[in-house]
Structure formats: structure tokens, C-alpha cells
Amino acid sequence: MKATILSGLLVCCCVLAKHERKFPSDFLFGAATASYQIEGGWNADGKGENIWDHMTHTRPEVIIDKSNGDEAADTYHNYKRDVEMMRELGLDAYRFSISWSRILPNGLANYINEPGVEFYKRYISEMLKYNITPMVTLYHWDLPQKLQDLGGFANPLFPEWFEDYARIAYEKFGDRVKHWITFNEPREICYEGYGSTTKAPMLNATGVGVYLCAKHLVLAHARAYKTYDNEFRATQNGLCGITISVNWMGPLTDSEEDQFAAEIKRQAEWGLYAEPIFSQWGGFPKELSEIVAKKSKEQGYPRSRMPEFTEEEKQFSRGTADFFGVNHYTANLISANDYKAWNPVPSLYNDADVGVYIPPEWPQSASRWLRQAPNSIYKALTHLHKKYNGPVFYITENGWSTTPDAGLEDEDRIRYYRAALNSVLDALKAGVNLKGYMAWSLMDNFEWMEGYAERFGLYHVDFESVEKTRTPRKSAFIYKEIVRSRTVNPDYEPPNRTMWIEEGH
Ligand code: NOJ
């Protein structure tokens, strides 16, 4: 009798545990891409030049394989096949970006390139036809070159230019797009593009450009948010947020010094952009801004290299997001004294002055910076949840790279996705208000400075072929089953290797 009750209880617990490890039915599963990385058609039908067109054409040697996005996966012509792939995977949502210079060739809003607008309208209609929710990023790194010529993000008028562009996007597409992301990864825009040479426009204004760009980017985001809020929300009824790269930065040891170092690193990596928008007080992160002010003085600058927000600007930017988009890939362990690398003076990393350690036993992808870290999504999301009082989150990117010759049997990508999605389940269980997850990426694409040498796709793309043939990798079948079953089954093996479209898609 006792044994029966016990085993009954056990069955009950297992069912419950299994039930708990399920994604909610309204959780949005999707995949993500970005305009310059997939579209091609770089000068098609009136599109203007952007900073990646300009840089790859004038300085091809800065890209590892001297390639560019002139053709990429040619989504400009293959968009129907892309939507077919979304249907094959059974996706609920798809995140893509609009190329600013495709709809405003000169960057400014006096002239609209209608064929560019029509392209996005066709693309969006094709998704909606199959109930796939479009999630649109307004800016994924491809600034119109004409605006860069005027200083780009360093120009204090940048927030106005961005507001004008955002308004046109809401007007043209907002009847059918309900999820807007203003910027993708401010850190990569500002630190990598303005504060170093790792992304266009390679300005390398170390220790100055990054902070100037950060302030104007935040103000531009706030303007675009307010424009949506004041002029469109009542009729269009959508959401507007921002996507920030949040790789987990934890302390190397429990010592107070390492804990403080990790906090400074978090402020330098994402706090610069998250704090002015999501904190209650607004403005740049306190400790980092004190450090920069002090160092600037010692270095002979008449004022801090970090241009503080005025009270009015703080007020203006605070609370300007309906959700927090998180791009998450990996983790670093941060130390106050060990593992320090040389950094230029002045620079963001010289200001932060911490050491970074990455355990060699964490599995390595094809990308130098990307290793599989234990339960890092859970760590990052629960931290942000607590810090910013439980905002709505979307994971807007997460994924793994392989080499071009790695083939279709991508067991390491499968291992990464399963671990990541288990970490997502842990975060959900802890009460994080996470509404969706976008895999990076739907298909192989132009990986910026790494060209086509690193592949992130669930679908392999044959860039040599005229059609840019797309073929599902094994991970595509595994992801499809996760989306379908709303669970992560570690033992699932696809029965055969043909993609099919489920009814209803
Ligand atoms: C984040 C960026 O948003 C995306 O463009 C890039 O390809 C992936 N990380 C992988 O590096």
C-alpha cells in the first residue's frame, strides 16, 4: 500500500516537473537576421550607400576574407524562400532589420525611396500570410554613409535624424508591425565602431567616441520611443524597445574586489546604455562615470570624457522602453587584479581597468569570443530582472558559430542550443518576465569583419550558387522540435532529413 502511494506520488512529481520544464504556449519562438548581413541588393532600386558598403568597398582588406554584403544571401530576391524556411521551422516570430539607406538613401527624411519601402511591405505581408509575427529592428549597424560623413552618432543632431527615420517606418509599416526595436547592440555600435576599430566606421576615437556615441544613441532611442508613444501607440497598439548585448560578466572569485570589478565591467559593457533607460534615476552608471571623471582630470582634460546627461535629458530618457531585448552569447569572469590586458590610454577598457578570464574548458565555437558558458542566460536575466525591477524581456539573439566547412551535422550547435534553452527555462522558473527567444540566425550570413568565415545559420547557405541555396542543418530539425513540443528533449533525433511544413503554417 505504502509502495503504491509512494510510486503514485513519484509519477505525480515527474509529471509536474516535466510540466514545469515547458515553455508557455504564448512564448514567441523565432529566429533573427539583419539587413546588411543577408539582403544583398546593395545598390538595387535606388538604395543609398551605407557605412558597411562604404568600408568594404574602400578598404576590402579589413574583412578577413575580403568579402562584403553586396550579394550576401540575396534576401532582396529570395525573401519568399526565407519565409518558407520560417514555416518549415514552425516559427512564431521573425526578427529582421530595415536598411535605413534602402528607404532613405541620403539618410534624411526629405526623400523616400518607394521601391525600398515596397520591398519591406512584400516581406512583411509574406510573413503575416502565415501568421509569423514580424519583429523589426530599425538600426542594425548600417548607417547611411551621408550621415556618417556628418559625424554619424557623434553629431548632436543624430537623435533628430533617427526620430525622423523612425517616424517614417512607423507610418509605412506600423499598421502591421507591432514589435519595434530601435537599436541593436549599442555597445557594438559605440565601443566597436567609435571607440576601437572592430566595426564600421572604425573611428578609433578611444575613450572619447564611445561615450559621445552612447549619449546620442540613448537620446535617439528615447526620441523614437516617444514618437511611437505620442503619435502611433493609440492607433497601432504595438511595443517599442531596445536590444542590448548582455553577455554575463561574473566575478572570478567571491572577493569584494572581484565583485566590484565585475560590476564596473557590467557598467562598461551594457550599463552605459541600460542604466539611462531602465534605472529609476536615469543617466550613466554612477561608479563608472566617477572613474571616468577622475581619470579625465588626471589626464589633463578640462571636463570628463563622458558627457553627462542633464537632469532634463535624464528625465527624457528614463522609462522609454516597453521591453528589454537581450542578445546573449557567452560569459566572462572578471578580476580586479589578474588577467589584465594592455589597453590604449584613454579608452573604455583602460577606464574600467579589470581583468578578463575565460576558462579554457568551456567549449569553443568558430568565433574567438564565443564559448559555451554554464547557465549564463539564467545568470544574466535574473540579474537584470532584479536590478531593473522585473521588466519584460525578449531574447532577441542567441546562437553558435561553426566553420564554413563544418557541414550539416552540427552537433556542437545542438548542444549549445539545448543548454541555452534549458537556461531560459531556469530563468522562467525564477520568475523572469521573458516573452520570447530568437535564435541567431535563421541562415548563414555576412559576419561583419569575419566575412563568411564564421557561420551562425540553422540553415546553411551556399554563397557560391546563384540561387544562394539554403539547406537545413541538423540543428534546424532539433530547433523545430523544440518549437513544436515547447520542451527541450535531450534525446530527440529527427526521423529523416526532409523539411516539411506543418499544417497551419
Ligand atoms: C550580434 C549581432 O547583432 C549580429 O549582427 C552578429 O552577427 C551576431 N552577434 C554574431 O556575432
Which residue, chain included where needed, has cell 533525433?
Answer: 493
pLDDT over 50 at 11, yes or no: no
Q: Between vectors from CA 378 to CA 430 and to CA 85, what angle results, nearest 5°?
A: 110
Residue (of 348, 445, 452, 438) closest to 94 by Cα position: 438
pLDDT over 60 at 18, yes or no: no
- Quick one: pLDDT band at residue 410, thresholds 50, 70, 90? very high
Nearest CA, atom 6, ligand 1:
447
Out of 448, 452, 455, 458, mutate this one to test ligand 1's pocket (max ligand atoms within 8 Å of CB): namely 448
Please answer whether residues 207 and 346 qualify as being in contact, where contact means their C-beta atoms are separated by less than 8 angstroms. Answer: yes
Exactly one of 185, 188, 269, 454 is catalytic; name it.
185
* Ligand 1 near 52 CB (within 6 A): no
* Ligand 1 near 185 CB (within 6 A): yes
> Ligand 1 atom closest to Cα of 370?
11
Least confident piece of the model among 17-31, 80-94, 100-114, 392-406: 17-31
- Quick one: pLDDT band at residue 504, thresholds 50, 70, 90? confident
SS3 (DSSP) at 442: coil
What is the pLDDT, as a whole number, of residue 425?
98
Nearest CA, atom 5, ligand 1:
34
DSSP 189: I
What is the pLDDT, as a whole number, of residue 496?
87
Residue (of 78, 124, 117) closest to 100 by Cα position: 117
Q: Between vectors from CA 23 to CA 409 and to CA 269, what angle results, nearest 5°?
A: 75
Exactly one of 192, 313, 397, 454 is catalytic; name it.
397
How does pLDDT run across 297-323, given as a tens digit for each residue?
A: 999 999 999 999 999 999 999 999 999
Residue (of 317, 291, 313) closest to 304 by Cα position: 291
Domains and CATH numbers, the chain: 24-504 (3.20.20.80)
* Ligand 1 near 440 CB (within 6 A): yes
The string of DSSP codes covering 11-78 is HHHHHHHHHHTS--TT-EEEEE--HHHH---TTGGGPPPBHHHHHHHH-GGGSTTS--SSSTT-HHHH
How does pLDDT run across 248-300, given as a tens digit for each residue?
A: 999 999 999 999 999 999 999 999 999 999 999 999 999 999 999 999 999 99
Other beta carbons within 10 Å of 474: 18
- Which helix (H) or strand (E) segment holds residue 330: the answer is none
pLDDT over 50 at 180, yes or no: yes
Does residue 160 carry a catalytic annotation? Answer: no
- Which helix (H) or strand (E) segment holds residue 139: the answer is strand 133-139
pLDDT over 90 at 19, yes or no: no
What is the pLDDT, as a whole number, of residue 503?
76
* Ligand 1 near 326 CB (within 6 A): no
> Ligand 1 atom closest to Cα of 447?
7
Handedness of CA 315, 317, 322, 326 (dihedral sign): negative
**Arithmetic mean of pLDDT, 138-167:** 98
Please answer whether residues 334 and 321 qualify as being in contact, where contact means their C-beta atoms are separated by less than 8 angstroms. Answer: no
Which residues neighbour 394 within 8 Å (Cβ) at sequence distance 6 or greater?
28, 135, 179, 241, 323, 324, 325, 326, 434, 435, 436, 437, 438
Indicate the pTM of the whole model. 0.96
* Ligand 1 near 327 CB (within 6 A): yes
The set of cell numbers assigned to 216 is 546620442
The set of cell numbers assigned to 49 is 550607400
pLDDT over 70 at 20, yes or no: no
Other beta carbons within 10 Å of 371: 21
How does pLDDT run across 72-87, given as a tens digit for each residue?
A: 999 999 999 999 999 9
Which residue, chain included where needed, has cell 547557405?
Answer: 461
Does residue 397 carry a catalytic annotation? Answer: yes
Q: Mean pLDDT over all residues of the chain?
A: 96
pLDDT over 60 at 15, yes or no: no
What is the pLDDT, as a whole number, of residue 497?
84
Nearest CA, atom 7, ligand 1:
447
* Ligand 1 near 456 CB (within 6 A): yes
How does pLDDT run across 453-469, given as a tens digit for each residue?
A: 999 999 999 999 999 99
* Ligand 1 near 50 CB (within 6 A): no
How does pLDDT run across 201-221, given as a tens digit for each residue?
A: 999 999 999 999 999 999 999
> Ligand 1 atom closest to Cα of 34?
5
In the chain, the percentage of residues whose pLDDT exceeds 70 is: 96
- Quick one: pLDDT band at residue 423, thresholds 50, 70, 90? very high
Residue (of 353, 351, 355) closest to 207 by Cα position: 351
- Quick one: pLDDT band at residue 3, thresholds 50, 70, 90? very low
Which residue, chain included where needed, has cell 558597411?
Answer: 52
